[in-house]
Amino acid sequence: MLSAVTIDAMPLDRRQRRRLETIEEVLDVAVEIMTEQGVAGLSIGEVARRMGIRPPSLYVYFASKEAMYDAVFLRGARAILAHMREHTAGVATDPRPLHDVLLDAGQAMVTWSVHHPAYTQLLFWRPVPGFTPSEQSYAPAVELVEHSRANFVTLQDRGLIRADVDVDDALRDWTILIAGVVSQQLSNAPHESVDDGAFTSRLPNLVAMYCDHYSPPAKGNRNARKR
């Protein structure tokens, strides 16, 4: 079978391919506008203007502005899912301590989020009054949560997370940490680099704090906290 560039893995004729390229260009421009003007600042007219076409032409590709938001949401959800899969692929066999495993995962999430503020806001905040993503577009976002949860279950099975904690509690605390870093960084200093951002640079310390709490007591440790 021929290699294919689409999700359906089906060969396309030139017309279809050109159409998809145009759709990608529309989404590029849409994200660009949302990055500059805020997520709620997207407008059909501005997209058309930047593409050098007229607003009605966009309705060939998207039934409405809502559909455009939905496509951006889907694209962002797929991108962050792929990114996190890639950066947490070895969790099941990674020989390093919990701190290192989690720090890599956290860095991956924070880095992507800070580098893609428009997607992050659309996916994880609710900045557009009327908009709700469709079920299809939401699916990869759900998959990301399931992926994270599976990783945490694996970490607990491997003994890197205390056996007596509810894995969902551990996961919720983890998402709170990451969301806190990202939201503080994006709200207060969006243009600082990830490496020396006032908040992103706190991640290693926060991960250490988290691991002190959720790691099982060290072998022979007399200080096991009871909870």
Partner DNA sequence: GTCTATATGACGATAGAC
Partner DNA sequence: GTCTATCGTCATATAGAC
Contact residues for DNA, defined by CB under 7 A: 15, 18-19, 22, 42-46, 52-57, 59-61, 63-66
Upper half-sphere CA count for residue 112 (Cβ side, 13 Å)? 23
Sole residue written with tokens 């709700």: 132
Q: Which does 187 bind (CB under 5 to 8 A by kind): DNA, a copy of itself, none?
A: a copy of itself
Least Å from the CB of residue 36 to DNA: 13
Least Å from the CB of residue 202 to a copy of itself: 6
Q: Which is nearer to a copy of itself, 1 or 218 (CB)?
A: 218
Q: Which is nearer to DNA, 56 or 220 (CB)?
A: 56
Q: Are 155 and 164 in contact (CB under 8 A)?
A: no
Torsions phi, psi of 111, nearest 5? -60, -50
Q: Which does 22 bind (CB under 5 to 8 A by kind): a copy of itself, DNA, none?
A: DNA
Percentage helix, strand, coil, to 5, in the chain?
A: 65, 0, 35
In angstroms, the CA 84 to CA 112 distance is: 9
Least Å from the CB of residue 17 to a copy of itself: 35
Q: Which is nearer to DNA, 34 or 181 (CB)?
A: 34
Q: Which is nearer to DNA, 47 or 160 (CB)?
A: 47
Q: Which does 12 bind (CB under 5 to 8 A by kind): a copy of itself, DNA, none?
A: none
Sole residue written with tokens 């076409």: 53
Token digits for 185? 């960084």
DSSP 83-96: HHHHHTTTTTT--S
Q: Which is nearer to DNA, 59 or 125 (CB)?
A: 59
Least Å from the CB of residue 117 to DNA: 20
Q: Are 156 and 167 in contact (CB under 8 A)?
A: yes
Least Å from the CB of residue 19 to a copy of itself: 31
In angstroms, the CA 191 to CA 198 distance is: 11
Q: Which is nearer to DNA, 15 or 219 (CB)?
A: 15
- What residue ranges bind a copy of itself (CB under 8 A)? 37-38, 40-41, 124-129, 169, 172-173, 175-181, 183-184, 187, 198-199, 202, 205-206, 208-210, 212-213, 223, 225
CB-CB neighbours of 176 under 10 Å = 11
Torsions phi, psi of 101, nearest 5? -60, -50
